[in-house]
Amino acid sequence: MSATTAAPAQTTKTGGLLATIANNARQYGIVGALLIIVVVFQILTGGVLLKPNSFVSLIQQNAYVIILAIGMVMVIIATHIDLSVGSLVAFIGGICALLMERQGVNWGLAILISLLVGLIVGVWQGFWVAYVGIPGFITTLAGMLIFRGLATVLVGESVPITSESFRGIARNYLPNVLGWWGPFDGLTIVLGVACIAAFAWSQLHKRIRAQRVGLVPEPMSLTVIKIVVAALAIGFVTYLLASSGNADQGGTPIMLVIVGVLVLIYNFILTKTVFGRHVYAVGGNRKAAELSGINTRRVDFTLFVHMGFLSAVAAVCMLSRLASATAQAGMEFEMDAIAACFIGGTAVTGGVGTIPGAVVGAFVMGVINQGLSIMGVDTAIVKTIKGLVLLGAVAVDIMSKRKKR
Amino acid sequence: MSERDTILTMEHITKTFGPVKALTDVNLTVERGEIHAICGENGAGKSTLMNVLSGVYPHGSYDGRIEFDGKECRYRTIKDSEADGIVIIHQELALSPFLSIAENIFIGNERARGGVVNWDETRAQAARLLERVGLPEDPDTRIADIGVGKQQLAEIAKALSKNVKLLILDEPTAALNDEDSEHLLGLVRQLRDEQGVTSIIITHKLNEVAAIADNVTVIRDGSTVGQMYVTEETPLDQDELIRKMVGRELTNLYPDHPSNPVGPEYLRLKDWTVHHPLDPNRVVADHANITVHAGEIVGLAGLMGAGRTELAMSVFGRSYGSNISGEVYVKGRKTELHNVQAAIDAGLAYATEDRKAYGLNLLQNIRENASLASLRKLSRHGIMDDNIERKEVSRYRRDFNIKCRDIDVPVSTLSGGNQQKVVLAKWVIADPDILILDEPTRGIDVGAKYEIYEIIDQLVDAGKAVIVISSELPELIGICDRIYTVSQGVVTDNVDKQGFTQEYLMRGMTKEREVAVR
């Protein structure tokens, strides 16, 4: 669900409690920084930041950064970068809008075609990077120009979206099927409880399986602490969501479900699959990976296909939110996604990084954005502050690494 | 050389790196206008000595006294030694590939006035220097566009531009073909005869030593063990030189392991020929024929640059080389190993000599490194089975005695010996039939070495075939059942256990190709 709960799921150490925490200081550090930022803005905004409805809009506004950061973190781990994602949001958003508004295509089919276009663009960029050997920076810089240009040709001024269903993706909630329990949405409460139970079950199950194959599991105290912390975090988020909404609807926003599912799936891919291992291996030492029998070209290619797909998802979300396709859509999105990765502890030189980290990085930027705009700070100043935060986060990271050596 | 005119004396040089003594009480005397060869096995301390001389290791970081051209030297940097006319040309050339020859010659020493380069002057002087070294190239040619042999000459031109008095060449011909080697050595001779330049040459090629050196100093295990003068009347006694280079006793640094009865043939190379990846005319392995059986430890002995690693990597999924020809038979079946995965599937494993650059992902932990070559085995439908992986890696952590807190610590925190065990674990988990171990004990301490030998013994006792590549002859003699000697890409001999003496093997390792240096 939220990033705070996903981060502790990373830890599978078998040492003592303190050692385990020390091992993951970097992960916990960025989560701690996010908590501090949240508390500071909660105070500065007089408690507005964590009002249910502004919390929901925080998620809806930053969904695109998270979706793009999921792919970007994998690309950066493998020592590449993708500068074209912002242009792709405009290009694919334009195609989706034209399909619905000019060709009369059903909105569901339009989304499917958009995702397919994203995959094709990924194949295109992956081909140049992996099989021709053009660095990702250059391939996607070209892509940034190509797709921004094509978006302008396609869209012209703008294409407004008329489909209410499509526009609802970005602003509607899951249907209130279980009714209102007092002031709370029933479905959200059920989902929250289910998440807590699933987390607890996965932690306990992991212990049992470890014991079954004869390994020493992590200390029980740590498992309990993890479950309690996760339960508190998920519980709080559930409370906020369940009491959000307006006169017609409320509860769990659809965007949160999309983002949550993507985060879970991609975190699984990166941490639990052979492909995920290949990504880290290629990023950490390409030559050693090759000599271990890994097809490094195919890894590079697949990553760009994933990135194309996720760009298409972000494009659809953004189009729904803006309710109109423009050639300027997605401007500088690549920078937001890259910044989220680096704030979230991804190494500039590749090989290191996690999806939960990138999600937390995206929330750090999002909370600062939201908090400052609630306070009425000028957007130009907001941008400056975000730049300084990026610089500071990476500086702290580099200096802490240097000290360790 | 009737009267002595000493240009360089190095006395009682001792240099330590932490607990390791690289040089112990080394003495070196070089006469003006001679070509002085320094010989010794890999790791004997030759390069360290030259780094002490040229100021790479500054005065004060070593003990001893250096006198050059009549005055005591206390060089703090290479710049200081160059100012006195000592120029060292390293094995890895220090040229910038995308700059021109002229720019490279005067790099850091630009023909300039007030920071503005005088290009006419640069070109004119470069052309004159190129003529002196016999390199008929336009000074504006990019370094990347000329071959290694010519690059070496450009390096010497660069040295001459600094008014060199003592030229130090570290393995100058290791990367050169025969013709280029001959030209280079001719040039060194010419510089001596016509311009009085003194040279120190470090080389493994004993024929070169015999052909060019006036004086030879032998270094072994960080100490000088002898000096040999060469004149027209008394040519170099190569056997004597070899004895001096290797003369040390074998002690029981190696586990007592009787040879297994020879099993079925596991790997056979037939006329395996490999060319250099960048220079397709340079033969790196020349019609190599090698056979390895189950249960057997076979050594590949060769000096640096002999082509051992290149041979092994070219077999392992064509990871090295161009224009490869010849046949590979795995368990008697002719097999094409087009890429690494195919080689792994066929039952091969190759543990690299450079574990940090090619063997390990230093950003990851023991578990992730050790499972890297077996991910398919440790997963189901593309999803990792964490517990099987942990179990498997933990098993080899225990079996190989990898000293660590747990298998989730980064490999970068381990000692060299433990890192090497992780590399071995990675390949043993892949369960190959044939393991090629390239310098498996390089840079690790004696205790860890012994443990690695024991692991190798266990592997062959389990019916696997092991090929060990090593620069240390005593190591190969201590653990192998059979040794192939390799020299300049040619397998020169196939030696059975009865024939294991350092002198005999060294002869095979230094045998020259037919087209030898004059």
Could you tell me the end-to-end alpha-carbon distance of chain A, in angstroms, rounded to an integer? Answer: 35
Task: Check B391 against A15: CB less than 8 A apart.
Answer: no
Last residue of a domain, which of B251, B282, B300?
A: B251
* Residue that wins the pLDDT comparison between B387 and A74: A74
Residue A331 and residue A89: Cα distance in Å, rounded? 9
At A332-346, the pLDDT tens digits run 999 999 999 999 989
* pLDDT per residue as tens digits for the range B385-412: 888 898 899 999 999 988 888 898 899 8
Measured between beta carbons, the chain B residues lying within 8 angstroms of A280 are 361, 363-364, 368
Tell me which chain A residue has its CA closest to the CA of residue B346. Answer: A293
- Does A201 lie in the same domain as A115? no
Q: What angle do CA B364, B456, B376 make, to 5 degrees?
A: 45
Specify if B361 maps to a domain: no
User: Does A15 contact chain B (CB < 8 Å)?
Assistant: yes
Among the three residues B162, B178, B195, which one is the final residue of a domain in this structure?
A: B162
Mean pLDDT is highest, among A213-217, B92-96, B172-176, for B92-96
Nearest Cα of chain B lies from the Cα of A270 at a distance, in angstroms, of 10
Give the residue among B299, B345, B350, B294 at the shortest CA–CA distance from B472.
B299
Choose the mutation target among A14, A79, A291, A352 for the interface with B, i.e. most B CBs under 10 Å: A291
Give the Cα separation of A228 and B158 in Å (integer).
Answer: 69
pLDDT (mean) for A280-299: 94
A270 and A380 in a single domain? The answer is yes
In this structure, the answer to whether residues B2 and B112 fall within a common structural domain is no
Asked if A275 reaches chain B (Cβ–Cβ under 8 Å), the answer is yes
Selected residues 214-243 of chain A with any CB under 8 Å from a CB in chain B:
214-215
Distance, in Å, from the CA atom of A66 to the CA atom of A266, rounded to the nearest integer, reads 12
d(CA A51, CA B503): 84
In this prediction, residue B506 carries a pLDDT of: 87
Q: How far is CA B495 from the centre of its chain?
A: 22
A8 lies in a domain? no
How much of chain B exceeds pLDDT 70, in percent?
96
Tell me, what's the pLDDT at B512? Answer: 73
| Residue B200 belongs to a domain | yes
**A364 shares its domain with A308:** yes
Report DSSP state, residue A243: T
Distance separating alpha carbons of residues A377 and A365, to the nearest angstrom: 15
- Domain range holding A331? 25-172+253-404
When pLDDT is averaged across residues A177-200 and rounded to a whole number, the result is 90
Say which CATH number the domain at B284 has.
3.40.50.300
CB contact under 8 A, A288 and B361: yes
Same domain as A394, residue A287: yes
Nearest chain B residue to A210 by CA distance is: B387
Domain boundary among A252, A280, A306: A252
Instruction: Round to whole Å and give the CA distance between A89 and A329.
Output: 7
Q: Which of the two residues, A90 and B144, has the higher pLDDT score?
A: A90
Q: Is residue B421 part of a domain?
A: no
The closest CB to that of B379, out of A23, A274, A285, belongs to A274
Q: What is the pLDDT of residues B464-486, one digit of tens each?
A: 999 999 878 888 999 999 999 99
The tally of domains found in chain B comes to 3
Is the CB of A213 less than 8 angstroms away from the CB of B350?
A: no
Asked, for residue A123, whether it belongs to a domain, the answer is yes
Of B373, B387, B388, the CB nearest to A292: B373
Same domain, B183 and B63: yes
Query: Mutation test of the interface with chain A: which of B369, B375, B388, choosing the one with the most A Cβ atoms within 10 A?
Result: B375
For residues B20 and B108, membership in a common domain is answered with no
A130 & A216 share domain? no
Q: Are B56 and B171 in a shared domain?
A: yes
What pLDDT shows up at residue A388?
93
Give yes or no for A168 touching B (CB within 8 A).
no
Q: CB A273 to CB B352 under 8 A?
A: no
Interface test with A, best of B316, B363, B391, B412 (most A CBs within 10 A): B363
Average pLDDT, chain A: 88
Determine, for residues B382 and A275 on separate chains, whether the beta-carbon distance falls below 8 Å: yes
Per cent of chain B over pLDDT 90 is 45
Sheet containing B297-301, strands listed edge to edge, beginning at the edge strand earlier in sequence: B348-351, B434-438, B465-470, B297-301, B482-487, B490-496
Q: How far apart are CA B342 and CA B348, in angstroms?
A: 9
Q: Which residues share a beta bridge with B465? A: B434
Can you tell me the distance from the alpha carbon of A65 to that of A330, in angstroms, rounded to the nearest whole number? Answer: 10
**Domains contained in chain A, number:** 2
CB atoms B375 and A15 under 8 Å: no
The answer to whether A274 contacts B343, with C-beta atoms less than 8 Å apart, is no
**Which one of A276, A285, A295 has the shortest CB-CB distance to B361?**
A285
| A259 and A238 within one domain | no
Q: Burial, B129: exposed, middle or buried (Cβ in 10 Å; 0-12, 13-18, 19+)?
A: buried
> For A300-318, what is each residue's pLDDT tens digit?
999 999 999 999 999 999 9
Identify the sign of the CA torsion A208, A211, A215, A220. positive
What is the nearest CA distance from B343 to chain A, expressed in angstroms? Answer: 8
Q: Would you say the C-alpha torsion B316, B465, B370, B444 has a positive or negative sign? A: negative
**What per-residue confidence (pLDDT) applies to A19?**
60
| A63 and A116 assigned to the same domain | yes
Residue A334 sits in the same domain as residue A368: yes
| Smallest CA–CA distance from B377 into chain A, residue | A274
Tell me the average pLDDT across B362-371. 94
Which of B339, B369, B372 would best serve as a mutation to test chain A binding (most A beta carbons within 10 A)?
Answer: B372
* B13 shares a domain with B111: no
The pLDDT confidence band at residue A16, using thresholds 50, 70 and 90, is low
Residues of B near A (Cβ–Cβ under 8 Å) read 316-317, 319, 339-341, 343-344, 350, 352, 357-364, 368, 371-373, 375-376, 379, 382-384, 386-388, 390-391, 394, 405-406, 408, 426
Say whether pLDDT at A6 is over 50. Answer: no
Residue A2 lies in a domain: no
Q: Is residue A13 part of a domain?
A: no
Residue B292 within any structural domain of the chain: yes
Are A269 and A199 contained in the same domain?
no
Q: What distance, in Å, lies between the first and last C-alpha atoms of chain B?
A: 23
The DSSP secondary-structure symbol of B4 reads: -
Is A352 in Cβ contact with B363 (below 8 Å)?
Answer: yes
Judged by CB atoms within 8 Å, which residues 331-370 of A form the interface with B? Answer: 347, 351-352
Residues A222 and A270 in one domain: no
Residue-range definition of the domain harbouring residue B484: 264-347+434-443+465-518
- Is the residue at B414 inside a domain? no
Domain final residue pick, A194, A224, A252: A252
Of A34 and A150, the one with more pLDDT = A150
Does A78 touch chain B if contact means CB atoms closer than 8 Å? no
- The reply to whether B128 and B207 lie within a common domain is no
Q: How far is A160 from chain B (nearest CA, A)?
A: 43
Alpha carbons B191 and B186: distance in angstroms, whole number: 9
- B391 and A215 in contact by Cβ < 8 A? yes
What's the Cα-to-Cα distance from B221 to each of B18, B229, B252, B308, B481, rounded to whole Å? 17, 21, 18, 23, 26
Q: Name the residue among B53, B6, B4, B7 with its Cα closest to residue B26.
A: B53
User: Given B344, B357, B383, which is nearest A287 (Cβ)?
Assistant: B357
Cβ separation B361–A23 shorter than 8 A: no
Left, alpha or beta for B186 (phi > 0: left; psi -120 to 50: alpha)?
Answer: alpha
Predicted local confidence at residue B129, as pLDDT: 92
Q: What was the pLDDT predicted at B3?
A: 58
Which residue from A minimizes the CA distance to B412?
Answer: A405
List chain B residues with CB under 8 Å of A348: none
Query: Based on the domain organization, do B333 and B194 belong to the same domain?
Result: no
Q: Would you state the pLDDT for residue A27? A: 61
Which residue has better confidence, B369 or B162?
Answer: B369
Report CA-CA distances (Å) from A239 to A255, B148, B381: 17, 71, 38
Mean of the per-residue pLDDT values of chain B: 87
Domain end (from A199, A221, A252):
A252
Q: Is residue A285 situated within a structural domain?
A: yes
One-letter amino acid identity for B19?
A: P
Same domain, B64 and B42: yes
CATH number of the domain residue A395 falls in: 1.10.3470
Q: Looking at beta carbons, which residues of chain B come within 8 Å of A215?
A: 387, 390-391, 394
Tell me how crowded residue B132 is: count the other CB atoms within 10 A of its CB. Answer: 18
B6 forms beta bridges with B31
What is the reported pLDDT for B514? 55
Do residues A235 and A258 both lie within one domain?
A: no
Is residue B142 domain-shared with residue B183, that is, in the same domain? no
Q: Is residue B22 part of a domain?
A: yes
Nearest chain B residue to A278 by CA distance is: B372
Q: Cβ B391–A272 below 8 Å, yes or no?
A: no
- Together in a domain, B158 and B174: no
Stretch A179-208: mean pLDDT, rounded?
90
pLDDT for the residue numbered B168: 93
Q: Same structural domain for residues B81 and B171?
A: yes
For residues B80 and B103, membership in a common domain is answered with no
Residue type, B315: V
Q: Which of B251, B278, B295 is the last residue of a domain?
A: B251
B2 pLDDT above the threshold of 90: no
The string of pLDDT tens digits covering residues B308-343 is 889 999 999 998 888 899 999 999 999 999 999 999
Within a domain: B143: yes
**A151 lies in the same domain as A300:** yes
E-strand stretches of A113-204: 158-160, 180-181, 184-185
pLDDT of residue B513: 64
